[in-house]
Amino acid sequence: MNRMLTAVAALLSLSIAPALAQNYPTKSVTMIVPFAAGGPTDIIARIVNEHMSRVIGQQIIVENVAGAGGTTGIARAAAATPDGYTIMMGHMGTHGAAPALYPNLKYNPATDFAPIGLAAGTPILIVARKTLPAKDLKEFIAWAKAEGEKANHAYAGVGSVSHITGVLLNSVLGTKPTMIPYTGTGPALNDMISGQVDYMTDQIVNVVAQVRGGNIKAYAIALPERSPALPDVPTTKELGLDYQVSAWNAIFAPKGTPPAVVAKLADALDKALDDQKTKDRLLELGGVIPDKAGRTPEALQKLVESELARWTPVLKAAMAAGKK
């Protein structure tokens, strides 16, 4: 009798774990977005979530935990129970640049997560005040080199996309402009429209309306192909500048999340990115949707590793130069 009970118990315990994963999800899923509501990453998360919720049959609820360039929210999500009910939207800052910028970072982007998949990227534009004399990218590069420290380069605070991508641009150009810190893209754009600062780099969704309205000008888009959102803006590839960068956003789960759960979420993400309405909404933002091969958990893991390798030296050099 006793033996039978143990056997039953053993059988049960064997079958329970996979069964839980099989039934997943039985309640709503929380997605931690490590930025304030209304920003580009938040918007992409909400657009993708809408269809993903439909596929998994449970609501995915966005919880905004902003702070310290997104690392506060990601640190919290990384420490959550890995049962698939807490996932997160990471991006190039939290999972690429953060280790170089935050020496006390509480997580390792490459080893502390179960990647689910790349959601969407937003390409980076090089924009400038409309009164800047340079007419095109070539003239702009010449101008930046001639001005040196006299050029005023705006960015939206340490660790922001505009900071990371701006530092990269300056290192590619080999220039050292004066960097003007702002607390967000909005105030930086405001000062660029009124001509106080010269140039910056930022995500297309943040600047597209100002470029279309003629308040600022765009020299190039850092993509291999032109964006349908701004077809007149040439690419850095066409112009022969080695500056290819887009602010990618990707879904991660904490390390130890059951593989069946990860697979289910990855499948939901894949279906969402194939959904026409979701696609249209992302494209309207100027977003770049990854192809089938680029959406898998394996591809995301590779991306994180290559991004870490790309940003760490550039940013460490820039931070060291800034401290002197």
d(CA 202, CA 238): 19
DSSP state letter for 107: S
Quick check: 133 binds another protein (CB under 8 A)? no
> Mapping DSSP to helix (H, G, I), strand (E, B) and coil, where does residue 70 land?
helix
Q: Which stretch binds another protein (CB under 8 A): 58-66, 90-98, 119-127, 235-243?
A: 58-66
- Least distance to another protein, CB of residue 307, Å: 19
Token duo for residue 110 = 């490459």
Q: Which two tokens stand for residue 170?
A: 């300056």
Among 3, 27, 323, 324, binds another protein (CB under 8 A): 323
**CA gap 84, 300 in Å, rounded:** 18
Q: How far is the CB of 36 from another protein (least distance, A)?
A: 7
Q: Which neighbouring-strand residues pair with 231? A: none
* Total residues in contact with another protein, by rule CB under 8 A: 54
Q: Which is nearer to another protein, 18 or 67 (CB)?
A: 67
Counting Cα atoms < 13 Å in the Cβ hemisphere of 318 gives 26
When asked if residue 148 is in the footprint of another protein (CB under 8 A), the reply is: no
From residue 279 to residue 308, the character string flagging contacts with another protein as x (rule: CB under 8 A) and all else as - is --x--xx-----------------------
Asked if 81 is part of the footprint of another protein (rule: CB under 8 A), the reply reads no
In the region spanning residues 196 to 235, those forming contacts with another protein, defined by CB under 8 A, are 196-197, 205, 208-210, 212-215
Q: How far is the CB of 215 from another protein (least distance, A)?
A: 6
Give how far the C-alpha of residue 215 lies from the chain's centroid of Cα atoms, to the nearest Å: 26
Least distance from C-beta 5 to another protein, angstroms? 43
Task: Identify residues 91-110 at the interface with another protein (CB under 8 A).
Answer: 101-102
Residue numbers 169-188 binding another protein by CB under 8 A: 178-184, 186-187
Cα–Cα–Cα angle for 140, 143, 148, nearest 5°? 125
- The DSSP line for 17-61 is HHHHHHH--SS-EEEEESS-TTSHHHHHHHHHHHHHHHHHTSPEE
The residue type found at 261 is V
**Contact of 247 with 122, CB cutoff 8 Å:** yes
Report d(CA 119, CA 289) in Å as an integer.
7
Question: Does the footprint of another protein cover residue 62 (CB under 8 A)?
Answer: yes
**Given the complex with another protein, which of 151 and 245 has the nearer CB atom?**
151
Q: How far is the CB of 275 from another protein (least distance, A)?
A: 14
Task: Judge residue 319's burial from the number of C-beta atoms within 10 Å of its C-beta, 0-12 exposed, 13-18 middle, 19 or more buried.
Answer: middle
Give the nearest distance from C-beta 296 to another protein in angstroms.
27
Q: Which residues bind another protein (CB under 8 A)?
A: 36-39, 42-43, 46-47, 50, 62-68, 72, 75, 101-102, 152, 157-159, 178-184, 186-187, 189-191, 193-194, 196-197, 205, 208-210, 212-215, 281, 284-285, 319, 322-323
